[in-house]
Chain A
Amino acid sequence: MDLRTLTYIVVGATFVLYIGIAIWSRAGSTKDFYVAGGGVHPVANGMATAADWMSAASFISMAGLIAFMGYGGSVFLMGWTGGFVILAMLLAPYLRKYGKFTVPEFIGDRYYSRAARVVAVICLIICSVTYVIGQMKGVGVAFSRFLEVDYDTGLYVGMIIVFFYAVLGGMKGITYTQIAQYCVLILAYTIPAIFISLQLTGNPLPQLGLGSTMAGTDTYLLDRLDQVVTDLGFAEYTTNARLSTLNMFAYTLSLMIGTAGLPHVIIRFFTVPKVRDARSSAGWALVFIAILYTTAPAVAGMARLNLMQTIEPEPGQYLAYDERPQWFKNWETTGLLAFEDKNGDGLIQYTSQAESNEMVKIDNDIMVLANPEIARLPNWVIALVAAGGLAAALSTAAGLLLAISSAISHDLLKGMIAPNISEKTELTASRVAMALAIVGAGYLGLNPPGFAAGTVALAFGLAASSIFPALMMGIFSTRVNKEGAIAGMVAGIGVTLFYVFQHKGIMFIPGTAFLGDMPENWFLGIEPNAFGAVGAVVNFAVAVIVARVTAEPPESVQELVDHIRVPVGATTAHDH
């Protein structure tokens, strides 16, 4: 059977599965819609959180980034996993104890202020929308590459699928679909990795394969990789840091606290029955994430080595362009891989020097997607990778859309504009908000604003600098008051946005960057994507100072904080 038919069958089968789950798990109440009824088993929730969390960026892009960054790519590995430790200890159990439906709701109650709630809603929407655009783009790209339909059609199909289970089932539908999506994406990621590890090292576990010797030799794979890349003038793979130690530190910190502050991840912990479950569920989520995240560096290193060895089988002996393998031709047609015969010898020279390098384009995203082809795996594996990429993008998009729509229907409509609406009306409103959010995200996916490329990393910076500090101080301090929290959030997100805009352009419009995207202009050499960590420090500092010079919070706040710190009496998220 040809690859295209097979891909249609595999992807089609997964879609039928998602829609079947959607019909089976319709939401009957607002509690079903916002927190899946509050009765999801912690292991199941962990799996759903993992799918929610791992986006198209984790599935498609991350290994490719690491493949070209080497050791410097570790910021993504540590940053996107370490956040769950903070989440499990500093936020999840206490927010679960509080037992409400949304993140802004907690901020509004803890800081006894509608204004704080509105600021939180705005911060939430800014970071969720910037994030969701990237996912919609991922859906369109995956469709157009694997199913050979155009980008727009792919996006429409993706929107219809998400519409179906998110509008119908809300959090309940999303949770059970995400469990299925996790299974699809993890199989799609690990199967090619196992085969490639076997081929290169004879060890079926990629995590061990990366540290093993090359099959049939005494040379360690990583030593060989270091040697191959340095021979061509690239930096050594295992020691090549990203800019500076301080920058790596800030980048990792930014991603970690951004992870803990992203609302679509936090609300997942409202769905478990108990406080204890919120703690263990974060652990399970990280187990399921770690399966992919410890495989990714192996995929990265092995794909880089495979690529280098394909192009230059022996030192000084280059691959002839006419003899290039089939996968090379396939990816050339997408424009993601490009060769230019600069010296006219018909051979492919790949070097670190721009003037003599003939591999003029190798897109990071190719590394994971072309992996099964490079390793000559059967077509069904390639079809599975397509389904996995779509599962990763769809599951994250759905989680983000739920966070956005519940902020609109629950925090803005029910919380402020019309507090007296019935539950039935609110449920309808939340479905309408979800539908609107999908259409809005789809529109942005079709007409991506100029800043789409930088948005995912920005979302983390914004979550790190606004939402995380407000939540953490709300739990660990009784002294921080509404003035402090609001000033802190505004200052944190303001400083981060300002820094990003001054180096990347206002709203990322080219030419408006008043300091230019130049490392020498960077504050202490910290790149804009890593600045969320500094924004968070500003948020904490401003909040503490402002709180010190303004009135103490009322007595009721002390009681609220005492209440959430102890698990006893935590009920399932109650109707209100």
Chain B
Amino acid sequence: MSKMTEQQAEAYWKRNLALMVKLLVIWFVVSYGCGILLVDVLNQVQIGGYKLGFWFAQQGSIYVFVALIFYYTRRMAALDREFNVDEE
């Protein structure tokens, strides 16, 4: 575990931020977008007995949240290894 140079630390942080922004956009779209702002439009579509907007608000957004955290965890573990800053 060598110490990072300043440039490396900056590059690591930028990559982390880029990943985070990407995932937070999805987080926003599935909850505030599909579940609230666009709910009436999506409700025109029906999947089984669920109106799609209603499904996002009461089911879908929660499943996506779980997936987002695990995806972030995996990508960050890879980033830690790439920059040699993972623990052991």
A interface residues (Cβ-Cβ under 8 A, vs B)? 66, 71, 73-74, 77-78, 81-82, 84-86, 88-90, 93, 207-208, 210-213, 220-223, 238-239, 241, 245, 248-249, 252-253, 274-276, 279-280, 282-283, 286-287, 290, 293-294, 297, 562, 565-570
Contact = CB atoms under 8 A, between A and B. Distances in A.
A84 B55 contact: no
Q: Which 6 A-B pairs have the closest CB atoms?
A: A220-B49, A74-B57, A283-B69, A568-B85, A297-B58, A211-B48
Contacts of B43: 238-239
Interface of A, secondary structure class, is helix
Contact of A562 (B9, B37, B50): B9
A509 to B, nearest CB: 34
B87 A294 contact: no
Nearest to B17: A476
Interface residues of B, number: 45
A568 B61 CA distance: 33
A410 to B, nearest CB: 25
Contact of A276 (B9, B35, B69, B87): B87
B87 A275 contact: yes
A71 B73 contact: no
Interface in B55-88: 55, 57-59, 61-63, 65-66, 68-70, 72-73, 76-77, 80, 84-87
Interface string B16-54: 100010011001000110011101100100011111001
Contacts of A222: 49-51, 54
Nearest to A256: B31
Given A238-B51, A274-B87, A276-B86, A566 B9 contact: yes
Given A78-B62, A222-B51, 5 more contacts: A210-B50, A280-B70, A293-B62, A568-B4, A569-B1
B88 to A, nearest CB: 9
B36 to A, nearest CB: 5
B76 A276 contact: yes
Contacts of A208: 48
Given A85-B27, A207-B59, A565-B13, A279 B72 contact: yes
Given A280-B73, A570-B87, A211 B58 contact: no
B9 A84 contact: no
A260 B63 CA distance: 18
A286 B69 contact: yes
Given A89-B24, A274-B87, A279-B76, A287 B59 contact: no
Nearest to A565: B13
A265 B67 CA distance: 20
A239 B87 CA distance: 48
A83 B34 CA distance: 17
A256 B76 CA distance: 23
B24 to A, nearest CB: 7
Most buried by B among A85, A248, A297: A85
A125 to B, nearest CB: 30
Contacts of B85: 566-568
